[in-house]
Amino acid sequence: MITVRPSSDRGTANFGWLDSRHTFSFGNYYDPRHMGFASLRVINEDKVTPGQGFSTHGHRDMEIISYVLEGELAHKDSIGNGSVIRPGDVQRMSAGTGILHSEYNASDTNPVHFLQIWVLPGENGIEPGYEQTYFAPEDKAGTLRLVGSRDGRDGSVTIHQDVNLYATRLNPEQSVTHTLDAGRVAWIHVARGTVNLDGHDLTAGDGAAVSETTTLTLTGTSDDTEVLLFDMAA
């Protein structure tokens, strides 16, 4: 079963410096029908103007993933990390017992466009942590590249939850197929471009919940389509 979550139905927030789209309830946007999916709690598509960003604030007991599509995102946190996240980078921050951090557009001239993803941890109260890994575009071209997993296998970042996060880049008529094991579900998020998911045409910002399904196939329908696939325990 596939249930599409159209981009146009997402929650919105615009503060001038920040233009955000919320796949699930977040901040002032609340919809009891869209509180998350399995362990996936937040997918925010954020665009931040040059030189602006999120000042220091705190989190607890959440796995937070940043995935930059365009521009540069500067990160600092209370456990001593400071970095710039660029397209191709996947950053995982485990909030655990508590962490403070800030995120700013690293450029004074260009906007930054990124996805902020929250996953509920498998266990609360873990030690806060940070990890950042680069995945080249060619490593995701025409294949599902594992970029996040519970055990950090294949060079993926470690997510403290039973979730496998894949990224793919597809051109027209390129396809990838994924098998869901028993008791597993998937969430698809189209980061850019357009794709066909088993007969459903999706465009940038669209999401889709997949359940009670053994295999799913994604076929690119535009140049340089980029898609994230979350394979999770139901």
| DSSP conformation letters of 112-164 | EEEEEEEE--SSSSPPPEEEEEE--HHHHBTS-EEEEESS-GGGPEE-SSSEE
Confidence tier at 42 by pLDDT (50, 70, 90): very high
pLDDT digits (tens, 9 = 90+) for 82-101: 999 999 999 999 999 999 99
| CATH superfamily of this structure's domain 138-233 | Jelly Rolls (2.60.120.10)
DSSP, collapsed to helix, strand or coil, labels residue 13 as: strand
Confidence tier at 57 by pLDDT (50, 70, 90): very high
Burial of 27 (0-12, 13-18, 19+ CB in 10 A): exposed
Alpha-carbon distance 172 to 178, whole Å? 18
pLDDT digits (tens, 9 = 90+) for 126-170: 999 999 999 999 999 999 999 999 999 999 999 999 999 999 999
**H or E, element range at 92:** strand 89-94
Whole-number pLDDT of residue 2:
97
Domain 11-135, CATH number (from 3.40.50.920, 2.60.120.10, 1.10.150.80, 3.50.50.60): 2.60.120.10
State the pTM of this model. 0.97
Residue with tokens 């079963």: 1
11-135 and 138-233 have identical folds? yes
Domain parsing of the chain, residue ranges:
11-135, 138-233
